[in-house]
Chains A and B, each alone.
Chain A
Amino acid sequence: SQQGEEDPQALSIQEGENATMNCSYKTSINNLQWYRQNSGRGLVHLILIRSNEREKHSGRLRVTLDTSKKSSSLLITASRAADTASYFCATDAKSNYQLIWGAGTKLIIKP
């Protein structure tokens, strides 16, 4: 069954504002990853956070992980038009080769 679920499904904000997306999952994990997909293209890895980490930064990205609530958030600060894309979280299923993907959050940055 599908594990990762992003919230909200769609988000539209003004350029310069911060964007926050959330991901919930159902079973224990080794790590959680966030990916970005520009329209009609492949996914690009943004950041990986391990189960023993609580927060991680990469440039304008900040990811948090709360294993007690089985949730993660992705914060993009000072958003730019180029951040317009869909964002997906993916968790590992410990017993096989699969990453479990959510349906994604579609982020639109208005200039």
Chain B
Amino acid sequence: ETGVTQTPRHLVMGMTNKKSLKCEQHLGHNAMYWYKQSAKKPLELMFVYSLEERVENNSVPSRFSPECPNSSHLFLHLHTLQPEDSALYLCASSQETSRAKNIQYFGAGTRLSVL
């Protein structure tokens, strides 16, 4: 266990559905991340939250909507997705300082299939 828990592990949804991915970290970290991982492509950073404030949004389509109600929880709300959104979605957390980027701890991911 890495201290970062993602649910659900697998999700199949139609293009008209609305679903949410959940991430919870038990490490006392101050930053949380959503990544998208597609086959044979580098990890794509989607969103970063630091102290519950969104600090990065890498041109992600509006059909993905993040929510960070507190420093331990992170959600990714999904609606009207496209088949190309099928991927492994990874959540991570870290304890950031001003000096350098630190180690990120990942959840096991949610395997999303959009039909």
Question: Assuming A45-B104, A90-B104, A102-B42, what are 18 further A-B pairs, CB within 8 angstroms?
Answer: A4-B42, A30-B100, A40-B88, A40-B111, A41-B108, A41-B109, A42-B4, A42-B107, A42-B109, A43-B92, A44-B106, A88-B43, A96-B55, A97-B31, A97-B101, A98-B56, A98-B101, A104-B42
Contacts of A43 in B (CB 8 A): 43, 90, 92, 104, 106
Q: Which of A42, A92, A103, A104 contacts B2 (CB 8 A)?
A: A42
Where the two chains meet, the residues of A that have a C-beta atom closer than 8 Å to any C-beta of B are 2, 4, 30-31, 33, 40-45, 48, 50, 88, 90, 92-93, 96-99, 101-104
Contacts of A98 in B (CB 8 A): 45, 48, 56, 101
Name which of A43, A101, A102, A104 has the most chain B CB atoms within 10 A of its CB.
A43
Q: What is the CB-to-nearest-CB distance from A87 to chain B, in angstroms, rounded to a whole number? A: 13
Q: Which of A45, A93, A96 contacts B103 (CB 8 A)?
A: A45
Complex contact B42–A2 (CB within 8 A)? yes
What string of 1s and 0s marks CB contacts (under 8 Å) between B7-49 and chain A?
0000000000000000000000001000000001111010010
